Structure 1
Amino acid sequence: MPRVLIVAQAVPPNGGSHATRIKYFIKELAELGWEIEVLTTKIYPGTPLIDNSLLDSIPINVSFVRTFPGPLHFYAYRKKRSLPGAVKAKKKPGFKKKLLIPDTYIEWLPSALFDVFIKKKIKKKPDIILSSAVPYTSHLIALIISKKWKTPLVADYGDPWVYDPGNLRKGIRYSIERLLESMVIANSNIISVTTDSTKDLYIDKYNVEPTKLKVIPMGYDPNDFPISKHYKSNESIRFLYTGRLEPESRDANLFFLALKRLYERGHLKYCLFEFIGMFNKDLLDMVESMGLNDIIKFHPWMDHKACMEYLCKVDYLMLFGNNNSIQVPGKTFNYIGSNTPIVYFTNLSGERDPVDEILNESGTIYWKVENNQSSIEEVLLELESRSSFENSNKANQLFTWENRVKELSEIMTSLL
């Protein structure tokens, strides 16, 4: 039985998109016969966005080595916090984010290596090391272990590192992080990324041999959607968006302006636009100032299981595309898996749109809406006028986590 050590901080019961990716890596690799040990950080009473539902279906024989995350994280998370609501204050980057390179979890590195090499908490030397980021410190820890044990390394990326379009590095920080990433790239046997555009980016910026780069996109689990029949409300037409709305990645201002104009003209009275997640107070204040509280509802952050079930209870899912062609919102595949029709508001104009390509390949029913107010108003009026909608969606099975991780397993097996 081959043995893999997964090095990642975003590991269940931590919540979020990347932790969901790691959950399915663990689950599906275990089902394919891999013996798995996970090196990650400890959980404290105040650790944010804990999602115990992500622990469901992880085999009990998977071993977790949870190490000290560093004094700053311990101090921040040592006390229990109130449950997350829908609102978060807009904060400027703190000193930790400004000073710690490549990310705040660099302070995890010493204790992780101490527990591996001095305390020898890893049960047995692995055949493969799989690191996954964000945070990118995971790659640095895995790189050191890989060099020490002379073990093949697979570096898995969610978003790009130095050339992340939503968080471009500058000055001395750029120079240091590019050097660190170059070291990871040079010493990794395989680098997996989530989009073809990211693969092209790394070939261009780092001159990486194309065969070294593999594309393992996000996916969905059919078991997350036990509801065989979608609910149809007789009272309102329900639209839903899940996740964040950060202006540096995706800008929804034109959407809210379109809602305001239609609502003032007497439309959308029987529509409800729901948002699940944590949103900046500025956004909520803007919605209130526009007088849209009657048709917009913000829900607190939900765990993965509850959120996936909610996707099946509405009429349409709203997908706001990124303002770059490098990244694809991870929620895209869960939206597809839910079989709920999708309204895709693209933020790209005149360039290749990978989200549109994925939706087209998926076979899902969707509307692509150009990023201008008149186009948004037009599609909303069309959907408002529909008295009924027969849903014949059937999600593309190629997009399941089972198939995604099967490909990952084959890649890792080739290195043995």
Structure 2
Amino acid sequence: MGALFDRAIAGNAVLRRATVPACLLADAAHDAQAGDLNSVDLEIVAGKIQRIAPAGELGVQGDLVIDLDNGMVLPALVDMHTHLDKGHIWPRRPNPDGTFASALAAVGEDRIAYWTAEDVRARMEFGLRCAYAYGTSVIRTHIDSLPPQDEISWPVFEALRAEWAGRIDLQGSCLFGIDRLIEDPGFLIRIADRMKQVGGVLGAVTYMVPGLDGLLDDIFKAAMERGLDLDFHVDETGDPNAKSLRHIAEAAIRCGFSGKIVCGHCCSLARQEESEADETLDLIAQAGIGVVSLPMCNMYLQDRMPGRTPRWRGVTLLHEMRARDIAVAVASDNTRDPFYAYGDLDLIEVYAQATRILQLDHPIGDWVKSVSTAPAQMLGVEAGQLRVGNPADLLVFRGRNWSEILSRPGAPREVLRGGVTLNETIPDYRELDHLMTGNGAAS
């Protein structure tokens, strides 16, 4: 999506005077500080990173040599919480007042009216094309999984995962409200079996419902019996009485769960008394739970009331979590749907906005890990790091430091995949116009 190079790279090149975050270098010096930016020469041979050396140390002969003039280089990034199946329905189903309740209602209506396999596939693929052009290599998407939608959307997910293999590592997590298990106890077995079959992740939206602890135990048991990881949507509200995050941590400890657990949103934690929040944070650390904050979506939704200025930012306690060595990340979440009217699956935009909203600066330190190595580890994949021998999947910027990068997140960048300059461009929204009218969608 950029034009920084005089000519395309075709798998072999030397990038001279590249600025790279020390925290993303696999072989960084032991005395490197969290926020260090190193100046290096980076050699690409046959599509892989062959050498990384201090700037000026690489002797080159015959290869394409590009002087980046201290432009920053990052590895391809990791978006661990998205909703590709909801994406881009805004033109046909906008949120009338921007509230969470209206978002739920609007998506439910749109799902019933339009979500055929053809519709879901077209919108999911559009989102993947956006993310790929921006330089994302791994995505986890949550899939609305209440019947009959599960029978429609999961085959689409499986087909797209296979088609995009080698470009984007696509993971899927099922999504349903935990109260579904009260009205339909057999649903958990059916959806857990489906996740086992498709190689997915077991997930649910948790909130304070009667018998929450028993329902969580059932979910943990179903996951343990099938070797599944867990990914929850948790307490996406400003109500301080929403404490299902604490219950999830207690269930994980109680059940002796050894798989990976991710909790997204966790907004209400920031509204609770400090002593109570501290107790929950200690339990999260003990349970080994990772947390992903969705700053753009939650600032959009939380504390929204007509005619009233919002009083809080809608995000969770990421600084306090990191102080306890809890794994944390930020991610895109919804894209142009009733839960978030904007967004384009660009993790540089997400990181720039997260820096502002969550104050991930002064010092900026190694917070870039929140869109690279940290989510990669939570998802159990090798990604988000600059390592000799890895594919040269890179983002190359003209900006030389974080002030320049984060001030112009939409500035041109060059994306390399396997050391080859990516020719893909951001798809035009007009490609989806046929889905936004009654003539092109199911009635």
TM-score range, shorter chain: 0.3 to 0.5
Q: TM-score, normalised by structure 1?
A: 0.32
Specify which structure has the bigger relative contact order, considering alpha-carbon pairs within 8 angstroms and separated by 6 or more residues: 2
